[in-house]
Structure 1
Amino acid sequence: MMATSAVEKIDYWQASILKEMELSRAQFTHFAFEKHVHLDYHIGVVCHGGQRYHHRGSEYRLTPGNISTLNPDESHNGQSIADGGYEALVMSLPTSYVQQVGGALNQGELYFSTPILDDPKLRAYFIRLHRQLTLHQANITPLEAETLLLGFISELFYRHGKLRNLPSCQARLSGAQLDNIKQQFHQGLDQEFELEQLALSVDLSKFQFLRQFKAATGMTPHAYLKRLRLEYAKKALMRGDSAISTAYDLGFFDQSHFNKAFKRAFLITPAHFQKRVTP
């Protein structure tokens, strides 16, 4: 009997009503996400199968019937629960947009209080919204689309969100120092960083810094910076920037390295991703 080939695929869309919002539909059999972070709020469901992932020291299982909610800058991984794989729908919400919603709700900065929600009605709402903004977006008016989106986000945070309480970092790497390091990364995406330089900027040895940064974020500084570059790369490609200029502007060694890193992270080449998300 001939073995069935594994399915490893991600389709991407850009919603016309919110250009910075990314939507995707993924089908995975054996592919496993390495530990990573996102710049935006990520919401997802599985249509069949299930995904397990580690988040803040605990393992969670996303199965049909519940919703995954991840805040920006929270490290996690992900892989299929069973050999049959899974299909997932994901929406990433820009932090600026969520902050606007928080202001409208008089809540300030919002965040999700738990990574898994048991809310079948809200899950059904999410699936309907995702399909309207991807497969059927040509058949929905901007007013209807934004009404659905705002209704979902408002309901989601009203029922399952809280005001953000910034966690204090352990040992000698303070919250302010961690923010300083992250700011250096965001402002110097095209630069080369040295571990010793970063450590000296927060008055730690490079060994202390490496251990404490990983304890605070769940990732090494190198892995964190690489993921930031890839996250910014998607946004640049969505704006219409070329893959060559994006690779250069974001500090990749060359376009070949950029293509390999991008495909490893997102299962699609930069060129194919850009075709999917731009007119």
Structure 2
Amino acid sequence: MPGTAAFWRDARLPHVESRRACRSRACYKPHSHPTFSIGAIDAGGSIFTGSKDGQVALGNGSLVLVPAGCVHACNPLPDTVWSYQMLHLDARWLQAHAPALDGDTATVLHCPQLYAQFCAMNALLFSKAGAAEKDAALLAFLGACASARADPLPSERKPLPRQLAPVLATLQARPSASLPQLAQAADLSPYQLIRAFRAATGMTPHAYQLNMHVNRARSRLQAGGALADIACELGFADQSHLQRVFKAHAGITPGRYRGQGG
């Protein structure tokens, strides 16, 4: 049986996006989101990897809470399929409505009751229920998460060295800046920059740039932008290049991502 994936989005609830994947073989490169993310494993084993060397095995019913900006990857065990759900919450909205969950540490929860509540809440999001009912269920679930006992993973984010601050500023102003330009901003050689940047963020500068482009592509796809225009705007060689990079990070093609919004 081939794997399936579905997304839910609603313009009335712009602070939340949800995804369900069944019997997926998708594997993800290390990446980060500008959102606070909550993943739930429905079936099959998987490995959660952060920006450090540590790995955590997840099983049926495991929940993972990943702060915005935390570099991570979660992939199925070799030669197996897995089923999972993924919730993305606007970081500012989370800070305003569930500040107890905000932080720098990825968290694994092993709580059958909480997993069941997550599944019921996510099923409600995908249903035809009203926006107010969906939002209330979401807030109730986040409150339950804040009250649950958790086993925190080692912090995946460290204070950024001052020397790298100009690099991030350059990336924000010029997302497609070259490695020599970024190295010059930090007054480092390209090799020194790659080593320092990876140690601080869990990614090379190039991988960080690609991750930024994918996150920007998500927003533009949700707004209805044409794929060719998005590829050109974000500095990809062509539409096919964007498709390959997007799928490697998101586990789905840009066209399917845009077409499956609710």
TM-score (norm 2): 0.86
Q: Which amino acid aligns with 2:172?
A: H
Q: Which residue of 2 aligns with 1:262?
A: 246
Shift of 1:179: 4.2
Shift of 1:243: 1.6
Matches within 5 A, 1:1-279: 7-28=2-23, 30-55=25-50, 56-81=52-77, 83-102=79-98, 110-111=102-103, 113-134=105-126, 136=127, 138=128, 140-159=129-148, 167-169=158-160, 174=161, 176-189=162-175, 192-277=176-261
Shift of 1:87: 0.1
C-alpha contact 1:50 1:82 (8 A) present in aligned 2: no
Q: 1:43 and 1:219 mapped to 2: Cα distance?
A: 21
Query: Which portions of structure 1, spanning 4 or more consecutive aligned residues, are displaced by more than 4 angstroms?
Result: 158-162
Q: 1:126 and 1:112 mapped to 2: Cα distance?
A: 22
Q: Which amino acid aligns with 1:185?
A: L
Give 5+ residue unaligned stretches, structure 1: none
Q: Which amino acid aligns with 1:228?
A: M
Q: 1:211 and 1:57 mapped to 2: Cα distance?
A: 15
Shift of 1:225: 0.7
Q: Which amino acid aligns with 2:181?
A: Q
State the Cα deviation string for residues 44-102 of structure 1 (Å, max 9, x = none): 11111121122132111221132111112222223212644110000011112112225
Shift of 1:188: 2.6
Distance 1:34 1:165, change over 3 A: closer
Q: Secondary structure at the match of 2:237?
A: coil
Distance 1:166 1:50, change over 3 A: closer
Distance 1:197 1:273, change over 3 A: same
Q: 68-77 vs 25-34, which deviates more?
A: 25-34
C-alpha contact 2:49 2:74 (8 A) present in aligned 1: yes
C-alpha contact 2:9 2:16 (8 A) present in aligned 1: yes
Shift of 1:113: 3.7
State the Cα deviation string for residues 187-219 of structure 1 (Å, max 9, x = none): 333xx3221221221222221111010111111
Distance 1:113 1:227, change over 3 A: closer
Identity %: 25
Give 5+ residue unaligned stretches, structure 2: none
Q: 1:124 and 1:15 mapped to 2: Cα distance?
A: 23
The aligned length equals 258
Distance 1:207 1:217, change over 3 A: same
Shift of 1:9: 4.0
Distance 1:40 1:196, change over 3 A: same
Q: 1:159 and 1:17 mapped to 2: Cα distance?
A: 29
Q: Secondary structure at the match of 1:234?
A: helix
Q: 1:245 and 1:119 mapped to 2: Cα distance?
A: 44
Q: Secondary structure at the match of 2:29?
A: strand
C-alpha contact 2:28 2:248 (8 A) present in aligned 1: no
